[in-house]
Amino acid sequence: MSNSFYRNGAAAILAAGVVSVAAWKAPQASSYLLASANPAATVSVAPAGTVPAVVANSSYAPVVERVEPAVVTIRVEKRAQMVPTDQQMPDDLFRRFFGEQMPRGQRGPRMAPRGVERGLGSGVIVTQDGYILTNNHVVDGTDKVQVDLPDSRTFSAKVIGTDPATDLAVVKIDATSLPTLTIGDSDAVKVGDVVLAVGNPLNIGETVTSGIISAKGRQTPGDADSYQDFLQTDAAINHGNSGGALVNVAGQLIGINSQILSPSDGNIGLGFAIPSNMAKNVMDQLVKNGSVRRAKLGVTIQPISHDMATAMNLPSTHGALVASVEDGGAAAKAGLKQGDVITRFNGKAVADNNQLRNEVAATTPGTSVPVEVLRNGKTETLHATLGELAPAKGARASRSNDRSEGGKYGMSVQPLTPDLADQIGVPRTTQGVVVAGLDPEGIAADSQLQEGDVIEKVNGKTVTTADALRTALDNSNGKPSLLLVHRKDATIFLTLGAK
């Protein structure tokens, strides 16, 4: 059985036998439902280092008593689309029921009556005047949002703003003097910290479960345009917990529960929460502007594998490898180059490409930041004034159908001509060779090369013919070869093991 990630909705299996993503949620819609912002809304933030080491009496009851009143149930509704029923009710069948008073050719398509689709999730009250944090997938595209408080009061809610990239949303109810949760510092959370998850799983009522922080900085399969830095926990999370609170033993909000990984739809101890620092940044922008602005460095980055580190003589796999630099972007103006390894951003060490991507996105556009890079074995500090990220463009598939003779590396290639460049969707000025065929059991396939890839360089040297590629690979002296590859709309590095 395949593993699945679940949010609030029906499972959507991507492929048999592989990890799949599910969206257990209310119906989707592409537009935001925005209300006027309330600049006066304030959120209390807990100082770092205030989490007690233990609960003195070995009971979490005092913590639960503080937390539960601020965790709510969110119920949503959306009208189902009207569906033509002619395929189920052909013309002769209509005549059987309605007779000849319905002439042929004059009857329009019949539509099935619209039903109501309902969804369920949880939320966290973060201001006394009714601002509530939840997941985007709980409220996205809904026509009606209702909030049930633990004290049995029910309110209609407005969606202030949603951010699909982080799966966060803010809704507002018209109330005052509400109980709230203090937002803690998720950066201060450590693996092994005790946590409680609070929400309404399976609509059985508010429920508290306990566990620990199992890991930090997790990513799950999903949209490439999403921003993920999940706290992983073994505290039981099930359908309906989405948007609920993950708190520490001081009762501070450190995460918004978002996903589970399970082969059977139920909790198996693999739950994921959006860290509170990311949630607060997004929430503040949604409350103020109704949308989220993100900075842009202007580079394509990728993780560093062990083979890449060996091929590039890097001291470790830490950092983010610059695969390409956008012309005229912030990175280009700052002097960043293809092949640089970004090791620090704005004074903070970079562990990997995902962390860097999140750090850049969380920075205000227009900010000038120091960027430390490792280049040719030397460390340099550059300064970049960040741009602003535009909406992501859809990826375009590219593939070459021409095939040529294979080789010992398990691939066949051909020179890249301007006409072929047009066919596979790369700039006509691109130089290199196109991967025309792959042996599924060959070295090239093991190195994650794909048909239609354009190999531009091997170990820093441009290759434009099959002979040049073979010579460059044969001269690797037993080390993995570092390939610069143009794939679809991006440039990436790959390593090819020595034959």
> What does the pLDDT average to over 90-119?
46
Domain that holds residue 167: 1-101+109-292
Which residues are CB-contacts of 87 (< 8 A; sequence separation ≥ 6)? none
Q: Each residue of 156-202: pLDDT tens digit?
A: 999 999 999 999 999 999 999 999 999 999 999 999 999 999 999 98
Residues 282 and 318 in one domain: no
Name residue 261's amino acid: L
Give yes or no: residues 308 and 287 share one domain. Answer: no
pLDDT at position 9, please?
A: 37
- Summarised one tens digit per residue, pLDDT across range 198-247 is 999 988 989 999 999 999 988 887 666 788 889 999 999 888 889 999 99
Q: Reply yes or no on whether the pLDDT at 98 is more than 50.
A: no
**8 A C-beta contact, residue 388 and residue 292:** no
* Residues 449 and 326 reside in one and the same domain: no
Both tokens assigned to 254: 């450190």
- CA 160 to CA 284: how far, in whole Å? 11
499 pLDDT band, cuts 50/70/90, is low
- Give yes or no: residues 284 and 303 share one domain: no
Same domain, 337 and 453: no
Q: In whole angstroms, what is the distance from residue 213 CA to residue 128 CA?
A: 29
Provide the CATH number for the domain around residue 354. Answer: 2.30.42.10
Give a yes or no: residue 484 inside a domain.
yes
Kindly tell me if the per-residue pLDDT of 392 is higher than 70: no
Helices (H), 273-398: 276-289, 306-311, 330-334, 353-361
**Residue 374 shares a structural domain with residue 336:** yes
Does residue 402 sit within a domain? no
What is the sign, positive or negative, of the torsion defined by CA atoms of 42, 48, 50, 52?
positive
Judgement on whether residues 266 and 306 belong to the same structural domain of the protein: no
**456-466 pLDDT, tens per residue?**
999 999 998 88
Evaluate if residue 436 carries a pLDDT over 50. Answer: yes
**Domain containing residue 271: CATH number:** 2.40.10.120
In a domain, 370, yes or no: yes
Q: Say if residue 425 is in the same domain as residue 322.
A: no
Question: pLDDT tens across 290-320, in order?
Answer: 888 899 999 999 999 999 999 999 999 999 9
Which secondary-structure segment (H or E) carries 419? helix 418-424
pLDDT attached to residue 102 = 38
- CA pair distance 310, 499, nearest whole angstrom: 16
Q: Are 479 and 311 in contact (CB under 8 A)?
A: yes
Q: How many domains does the chain have?
A: 3
- Same-domain pairing of 278 and 308: no
Q: At which residue do the structure tokens 């049995």 appear?
A: 152
pLDDT at 20 > cutoff 50? no
Nearest of 390, 386, 381 to residue 367 by alpha carbon: 386
Same domain, 113 and 234: yes
User: Binning pLDDT at 50, 70 and 90, where does residue 21 land?
Assistant: very low
Q: Flag whether pLDDT at 108 surpasses 70.
A: no
- Are 328 and 450 found together in one domain? no
> Tokens 């039903």 label which residue?
115
* Amino acid at residue number 299: V
Which residues are known catalytic residues? 137, 167, 242
Q: How confident is the model at residue 80 (pLDDT cuts 50, 70, 90)?
A: low
* Lowest-confidence region among 111-125, 132-146, 369-383, 426-440: 111-125
Q: Does any domain span residue 395?
A: no
Q: Worst-scoring range by mean pLDDT, 28-37, 112-121, 483-492?
A: 28-37
Q: Nearest Cα to 259, choosing from 22, 17, 14, 16?
A: 22
| pLDDT for residue 248 | 96
Under the banding of pLDDT at 50, 70 and 90, the label for residue 28 is: very low
**Pair (315, 203) in one structural domain:** no
Residue at 406 is within a domain: no
At 57, is the pLDDT very low, low, confident or very high (cuts 50, 70, 90)? low
Confidence tier at 47 by pLDDT (50, 70, 90): low
Predicted confidence band of residue 283 (pLDDT cuts 50, 70, 90): very high
Helix (H, G, I), strand (E, B) or coil at 69: helix
Spell out where 48-102 has E strands. Answer: 71-79
